[in-house]
Amino acid sequence: MSQGVVSRRAPPRRRDPLGGAVICMLEAQEPDGAIPWFTGGPWDPWNHGECVMGLAVAGEWDAARAGLDCLMARQGSDGAWLGEYGNMLPMADRLHMARVKPPAFRDTNFAAYCAVVVWHFVTLTGEAAVARRYWPMVREAISFVLRLQHPQGDISWSQEAHGTSADDACAPAAPRSTRAWTAPWRWRT
C-alpha cells in the first residue's frame, strides 16, 4: 500500500471587513483631528462623529480621541458646529463630487449627535473620565438645540432657518436628541 502525500492548504486568509474604511478615515484625518468626507472635502460634526465611532470600534484609540478633541475645539460659542453639507455639492462628472465649498449650517441634528459619539466612546472604553471631559461640550450642544425648540415642542432643523419661512421641524433630531439626553450621564458634576 502506497502512502500518498497529503497536501495541506493554508486556511484562506480572512479579510478585515473594516480595514479599508479605517485606512480611508485615518488618511483623511487632518492634523487637528477633523475627519472630512474625503481628503480636502467637506466637514460636518455628524459624519465626523460617525468616523470617530468607527475608529473607536476598530481600536484606533488615539485617532478617535483626536476626533473627540476636534469636536470640542470646533464647537462654536453658541454650542453648535458649522457643518458643511457635502450632499449639496454639485457633481464634477458622473462619479466625482465637485471640489467647491459646500453650504454650511448650524444644524440641530448635527449638534445633538455629539452626545451619542461621546457616550459610544465611554461605552466601549469604560472611561468615565472621558465623559466628564466632554460633558461641557455635550451640555452646550443640548442647550443650542433647546434654544431652537418651538412652543409646540418641535425643533427647528437649523439656526439659520429658525423663525424664517424655511423653518421646518427637524423630525430626525428629536428622537436622537431625546435618546442622547436620556443616556445615563451619571458622571456629570
Write down the domain spans for the chain.
19-181
Residue 65 · residue 24 · CB < 8 Å: no
pLDDT of residue 159: 67
Hey, how many other C-beta atoms are within 10 angstroms of the C-beta on 161?
Answer: 18
Cα 160 from Cα 154, distance rounded (Å): 16
CATH number for the domain formed by residue range(s) 19-181 = 1.50.10.10
**What is the structure's pLDDT at 30?**
96
SS3 45: helix
Predicted confidence (pLDDT) per residue in 93-123, tens digit: 877 777 777 767 788 888 889 999 999 999 9
Give the model confidence (pLDDT) of 31-43 as tens digits. Answer: 999 999 888 888 9
Of the listed ranges 48-62, 64-78, 164-178, the one predicted with least confidence: 164-178
Q: What are phi and psi of 95, to 5 degrees?
A: -115, -10
Encode pLDDT of 71-93 as tens digits.
999 999 999 998 776 666 667 78
> What DSSP letter does each residue of 96-136 carry, written as one string?
-B--SPPPEE-BHHHHHHHHHHHHHHHHHH--HHHHHHHHH
More confident residue, 165 or 126: 126
Q: What is the mean pLDDT of the chain?
A: 80
pLDDT at 178: 45
Sort residue 142 into left (φ over 0), alpha (ψ -120 to 50) or beta. alpha
pLDDT confidence of residue 66: 98
As a whole number of Å, the end-to-end CA separation of the chain is 80
| Share above pLDDT 70 across residues of the chain, in percent, rounded to a whole number | 72
Asked if 177 and 157 touch (Cβ cutoff 8 Å), the reply is no
